[in-house]
Amino acid sequence: MAKSVDIEKEITELRNEIRYHEHRYYVLDDPEISDPAFDKLMRRLQDLESRHPDLITPDSPTQRVGGQPAEQFAKVRHSAPMLSLDNTYSVDELRDFDRRVRELSGRSEVPYVAELKLDGLSMALTYENGVFTRGLTRGDGTTGEDVTANVKTIRSVPLRIDSKNLAGVGLPAKFEVRGEVILGHKAFQAANAQREAAGEPLFANPRNAAAGAIRQLDPKLVAERKLDIFVYYLLVNGRPPLDKHWQILEALGELGFKVNPYRVLAKNFEDLLSYIQKMESQRDRLEYEIDGVVVKVNEIALWDELGKTAKSPRWAIAYKYPAHQETTVVNDIRPQVGRTGTLTPVADLEPVSLGGVTVSHATLHNMDEIERLGVKIGDTVLIQRAGEVIPQVLKVTRHAPDGREFRMPKHCPVCGGDVIRVEGEVAYRCVNAACPAQLKESLLHFAARHAMNINGLGEALVDQLVDKKMVHDVADLYALAGEQLANLERMGEKSAQNVLDEIEKSKKAELARVVFALGIRFVGERTAQLLTRHFGSIDKLAQATPEELYEVEEIGPKVAQSIVEFFRETRNRDVMEKLRRAGLKFEQKTHRADGRLSGKQFVLTGTLPTYSRDEAARLIEEAGGRVTASVSKKTDYVVAGAEPGSKLAKARSLGIETIDEAGLNKLIGK
């Protein structure tokens, strides 16, 4: 046992190291180490803290997601009102603002800072002793809601500020930072995809999704949303502590906060205009939504002179870009087959210009969304475009008297395969694994690095293979001949041979890779590993009933159902046979029949003092035992750690032996 001083030292060092890498990754967007290397540091810290809970501090990087769901949020008064901004919609209005500022201040020219107007929700962050202690929503501007636990889950919010950095900008240890909590386009799409799968109504825009997330009562759910923050305001004792707003933004960056890089110090009005124009043209390429530009007087002494109106300061103003919204007519609605076979209803629109881009399609997501919108073919709709994503239909503005209803077809429009709706899901899917629309994506997935890792089988080659009907399923890859490939565009004999070598090499891939490569819906890399560990062969997996699949740790009914569906499909079974004949690995020894735990079933619950769940499962399996998800009469041992769940109670009620980590070590002879 190491001395406790050593452990304290290691914990402190680990925390600093993790903070440094969090800053590189989440604030600077410039990581220095790989994700697994980062996870390893985090696990080490978690491990030390779980063995020494007295050393856990609220600003530890492990404490971002924690605690119990809140009952409700406390109302707290702001240290200084959170003002809003007046809006302008034209250059003339902006010119009026500049004139008023110059007149009131008596200056002939006033320098401004221009920033992006981020479309999120404003948040006030309090730091005491350099540690993040409170996050408040804007509320009515005077009083906000305490959402501290939720704000902690935002990885770009530093939980503690280095005292060296505080000294560097001459800041006391108690201060307040304000900024905008946002949800990037990617995270927004992921949030909506999740809601779609759960059959819940979709968020209209990232701001609503971010606001919804921040008001979640359970921080664990907030953490899943991947919120982000950009800060733009600093207060010490209710006042900005520096002379210039530009300096404030720079200081915030030095303190470790995320400050938006698109900002300018404009010497005069002309500079402002060119920034506004430049950002409007780049607007669609940003990873998050903006709705304009905020213009602020740089000199803070002028802020006091200019003062404020009832709700907004006279030293700042928002210049709003036109919303990328327009009304148009739905000419048709048709299903589009995506890569997993999902049929997405897409609206064919009367073309309209939206922020300089002609739009002729919009996604309707799924049948529930069509029903919610009440949209029919012929209706006039309001559409919106954000970033580079496909436009959305926001609402019907006029129903056509003879509007035609859209119905999902019973057969795939591309291959004629059966279209089914999985129970409990909103999506309709074509179940045919050989559907050409899906085939290209399946091939790319099959060849991907974490799947069969076939180098050189990229989009250009896949397109040709499918279009020229050289492959009809993933197994056909193993029947390709050199001269066939060499005749393709951008291929020579040499590169053809390289691809063939790669394909040959892939036959040796581990079983878990094969399972992942099949592209079974909901079966990602990790699930594939768990399935492989449990079943040990594709045949056993293919024959498993939903109940047997459900027994595997981390596998829920949705995944189980999807696996059963996959292997029920004749075409998929045919592909399996071809892959088997090609010589792919279909089996892997999992349980050692001669191990000391062979034939024994285990269930894990709670946190073990030293082993992670995966480590414990691996040790059991190496000794020939099996780990299942739930306690049943077949269970031999329940291994219980700290904060065990209901599994322990069930084990006791069934009279099943429960052991702790030491007991497990004894069983495996460690």
List 73, 132, 232, 478, residue binding ligand IVH (CB under 6 A): 232
List 85, 154, 279, 531, residue binding ligand IVH (CB under 6 A): 85
Phi and psi torsions of 227, nearest 5°: -70, 160
Nearest approach in angstroms of CB 189 to ligand IVH is 21
**CA atoms within a 13 Å half-sphere pointing along the CA-CB vector of 657:** 10
CA distance 587 to 150: 45
Interface segment toward ligand IVH; rule CB under 6 A; list 12-20, 80-88, 150-158, 187-195: 80-88
Contacts within 8 Å (CB) and 24+ apart, 2-11: 4/52, 7/48, 7/52, 7/55, 8/55, 10/48, 11/45, 11/48, 11/49, 11/52, 11/55
Nearest approach in angstroms of CB 224 to ligand IVH is 23
**What is the total count of residues that contact ligand IVH (CB under 6 A)?**
14
When the beta carbons of 182 and 393 are compared against ligand IVH, the nearer one is 182
Other CB atoms within 10 Å distance of the CB of residue 551? 20
Other CB atoms within 10 Å distance of the CB of residue 268? 13
Q: Which residues of 207-224 are buried (b: 16+ CB within 10 A; e: fewer)?
A: bebbbebbebeebeebbb
Question: Which residues, numbered 397-416, are part of the site for ligand IVH (CB under 6 A)?
Answer: none
Establish if 313 lies at the interface with ligand IVH (CB under 6 A): yes
Question: What three-state secondary structure class fits 29?
Answer: coil
Establish if 231 lies at the interface with ligand IVH (CB under 6 A): no
CA distance 430 to 438: 9
**Looking at the DSSP assignment, which residues form a beta bridge with residue 381?**
328, 396
Establish if 316 lies at the interface with ligand IVH (CB under 6 A): yes
Nearest approach in angstroms of CB 118 to ligand IVH is 4
Nearest approach in angstroms of CB 317 to ligand IVH is 10
| Cα–Cα–Cα angle for 309, 310, 314, rounded to 5 degrees | 20
When the beta carbons of 81 and 409 are compared against ligand IVH, the nearer one is 81
Nearest approach in angstroms of CB 246 to ligand IVH is 13
Establish if 122 lies at the interface with ligand IVH (CB under 6 A): yes
Establish if 155 lies at the interface with ligand IVH (CB under 6 A): no
Closest residue (Cβ) to ligand IVH? 122
Element (H, E) at 45: helix 35-51
Interface segment toward ligand IVH; rule CB under 6 A; list 313-321, 325-333, 442-450, 483-491: 313-321
List 28, 55, 76, 83, residue binding ligand IVH (CB under 6 A): 83
**CA atoms within a 13 Å half-sphere pointing along the CA-CB vector of 631:** 21
Look at the block and give the residue holding tokens 């200084």.
80
Nearest approach in angstroms of CB 232 to ligand IVH is 4
Nearest approach in angstroms of CB 309 to ligand IVH is 11
Q: Is 647 a catalytic residue?
A: no
When the beta carbons of 96 and 332 are compared against ligand IVH, the nearer one is 96
Phi and psi torsions of 437, nearest 5°: -60, -35
When the beta carbons of 306 and 668 are compared against ligand IVH, the nearer one is 306
Binding mask 271-300 for ligand IVH (x = CB under 6 A): -----------------------x------
**Looking at the DSSP assignment, which residues form a beta bridge with residue 36?**
none
Question: Which residues, numbered 164-223, are part of the site for ligand IVH (CB under 6 A)?
Answer: 180
Establish if 115 lies at the interface with ligand IVH (CB under 6 A): yes
Q: Which of 3, 9, 40, 117 is catalytic?
A: 117
**Helical ranges in 538-660 per DSSP H:** 538-543, 546-550, 557-568, 570-582, 613-622, 646-653
* Cβ atoms of residues 149 and 255 within 8 Å: no
Other CB atoms within 10 Å distance of the CB of residue 78? 20
Look at the block and give the residue holding tokens 């900024």.
179
When the beta carbons of 212 and 595 are compared against ligand IVH, the nearer one is 212
Phi and psi torsions of 430, nearest 5°: -85, 125
Query: Which residues contribute to the site for ligand IVH (CB under 6 A)?
Result: 83-85, 115, 117-118, 122, 138, 180, 232, 294, 313, 316, 318
By annotation, the residues acting in catalysis are 117
